[in-house]
Amino acid sequence: MSANEAVKTWLAAFEKALGSGDPAAVSKLFGEESYWRDLVAFTWNIKTVEGAEGVEDLVRNTAAHTKASNFRLDGDASEADGVTEGWFTFETGVARGYGLVRLRDGKAWTLLTTMVELKGHEEKAGFTRPLGAKHGHGVGTKSWREERDEELATLGHTKQPYCVIIGGGQGGIALGARLKQLGVPTIIVEKNERPGDSWRKRYKSLCLHDPVWYDHLPYIDFPKNWPVFSPKDKIGDWLEMYTRVMELNYWASTEALSAKYDEQAKEWAVVVRRDGKEITLRPKQLVFATGMSGKANVPQFRGMEKFQGDQHHSSQHPARTSTRARRRSSSARTTPPTISPPRSGKLART
């Protein structure tokens, strides 16, 4: 059996088993060692299950309402070292998806299912992008500039956003771009003065920890001539440019003071301070995009108050040159190691 036939046969059996509503029938299509990772398509979450028990549990709790169907091989499958691999498309009752399956001895070793788009809420991109041109000069016709200025002036003031994102680093910016394309009114709240400052304000030698081609933001790839491990200030400038050209409603120099959910109104009351004034935003959805290391966690050690050397958190890590200067000027002590938790320096992957 060819690689294409093997994947097509497995996908057909998988679709039939899902439709039967029998979790055991689905798990029989997986090997003894097997993994199924779902990104929103079945679970509306990011979840990985292992082995027959995990597969059965996922199917038992999701198959009936997911209504997955139309599993089709996308392109040609391949085979190497006893593993057959193929990409595929599929649909659920509310979405379209994309996936990857790896087979060993005819059974699934790994399965990936991801949601690509919601039916009825497709992004306007590629052939479906807006026309842009507005011919004629009808009464009241507004230019792009006028419409954009009106949005900036009214959203958060006379009009409420549907979503507020607290945290304007790469994660908040990428999510804001996606919501913008879906027509969801969104405000990104960031305490720094400019988009990209969360990178600019870190230590001098910081670069991407992954190759740049792993770290593209939605819609606009990094330039092909950028360094593999791009420096922090280039990343900061890119995020600032991206925020502007993607027309994001980015409230810089804005601090989130409090957030409380109103059960009766089914909305949040988010109080922020902007330009010295407190503003209450009332979104239906609130996202915290402050990162795993968004707030410094500084441990306390016995004797810290007596230690005369330099003590700092990684978020205040100095430039290497300044550390050398301190060492040269000190004859009685050396600079101690930085007290720091693991750092997160990766851009959101798409």
Give yes or no for a contact between 279 and 257, defined as CB atoms under 8 angstroms apart.
no
- Which has more confidence, 192 or 316? 192
pLDDT at 176 over 90: yes
Written as one letter, the residue type at 233 is D
User: CA–CA separation, 198 vs 170, rounded Å?
Assistant: 9
pLDDT of 133: 79
Residue 111 CB: number of other CB atoms within 10 A? Answer: 22
Mean predicted lDDT score pLDDT of the chain: 89
Mean pLDDT of 190-202: 94
**Confidence label for 320 from pLDDT (cuts 50, 70 and 90):** low
pLDDT at 76 over 50: yes
Q: Which helix (H) or strand (E) is 298 found in, with range? A: none
Q: Which helix (H) or strand (E) is 161 found in, with range? A: none
Q: Which region among 31-45, 241-255, 260-274, 290-304 has the lowest average model confidence (pLDDT)?
A: 290-304
User: CA–CA separation, 203 vs 260, rounded Å?
Assistant: 35
Give yes or no for a contact between 96 and 116, defined as CB atoms under 8 angstroms apart.
yes
**Confidence label for 128 from pLDDT (cuts 50, 70 and 90):** confident
Tokens in use for 105?
């001895």
Instruction: Indicate if 146-288 has the same CATH topology as 3-118.
Output: no
Domain 146-288 carries which CATH code? 3.50.50.60
pLDDT of 196: 96
| Alpha carbon distances (Å) from 314 to 78, 299, 319, 323 | 45, 12, 11, 14
pLDDT of 332: 36
pLDDT at 341 over 70: no
pLDDT of 334: 35
Give yes or no for a contact between 127 and 117, defined as CB atoms under 8 angstroms apart.
no
pLDDT at 300 over 80: yes
Mean pLDDT of 288-317: 82
pLDDT at 338 over 90: no
Residue 328, class by beta-carbon neighbours within 10 Å (0-12 exposed, 13-18 middle, 19+ buried)? exposed
List alpha helices for the chain, DSSP H.
3-20, 23-27, 51-66, 144-154, 170-181, 197-200, 232-245, 320-329
Mean pLDDT of 205-226: 93
Mean pLDDT of 214-230: 95
List beta partners, residue 49. Answer: 36
pLDDT digits (tens, 9 = 90+) for 18-43: 999 899 999 999 999 999 999 999 99
**Confidence label for 319 from pLDDT (cuts 50, 70 and 90):** low
Residue 168, class by beta-carbon neighbours within 10 Å (0-12 exposed, 13-18 middle, 19+ buried)? buried
User: CA–CA separation, 124 vs 24, rounded Å?
Assistant: 40
pLDDT of 134: 74
Q: Which region among 124-128, 285-289, 312-316 has the lowest average model confidence (pLDDT)?
A: 312-316
Q: Which region among 65-74, 105-114, 293-302 has the lowest average model confidence (pLDDT)?
A: 293-302
pLDDT digits (tens, 9 = 90+) for 225-259: 999 999 999 999 999 999 999 999 999 999 999 99
- For residue 240, give every residue at least 6 positions away whose Cβ sits within 8 Å of its Cβ, in sequence order, or none: 194, 195, 196
pLDDT at 340 over 80: no
Segments making up each domain of the chain, as ranges: 3-118, 146-288
**Confidence label for 336 from pLDDT (cuts 50, 70 and 90):** very low
| Alpha carbon distances (Å) from 129 to 124, 133, 180, 350 | 5, 12, 13, 20
Q: Which region among 84-88, 149-153, 215-219, 324-328 has the lowest average model confidence (pLDDT)?
A: 324-328
Task: Tell me the chain's radius of gyration from C-alpha atoms.
Answer: 25
**Confidence label for 337 from pLDDT (cuts 50, 70 and 90):** very low
Backbone angles phi, psi at 54, to 5 degrees: -65, -40
Residue 295, class by beta-carbon neighbours within 10 Å (0-12 exposed, 13-18 middle, 19+ buried)? exposed
pLDDT of 203: 85
pTM score, two decimals? 0.79
Question: Which DSSP string corresponds to 44-98?
Answer: SSEEEEEHHHHHHHHHHHHHHHH--EEEEE-S--EEETTEEEEEEEEE-SSEEEE
User: CA–CA separation, 47 vs 163, rounded Å?
Assistant: 24
pLDDT of 162: 98
Can you name the CATH fold of 3-118? Nuclear Transport Factor 2; Chain: A, (3.10.450)
User: CA–CA separation, 344 vs 238, rounded Å?
Assistant: 18
pLDDT digits (tens, 9 = 90+) for 90-113: 999 999 999 999 999 999 999 999
72: nearest Cα among 147, 172, 4, 142: 4
Cα angle for residues 127, 129, 135 (degrees, 5° grid): 115
Please give the share of the chain, as a percent, with pLDDT higher than 90: 73
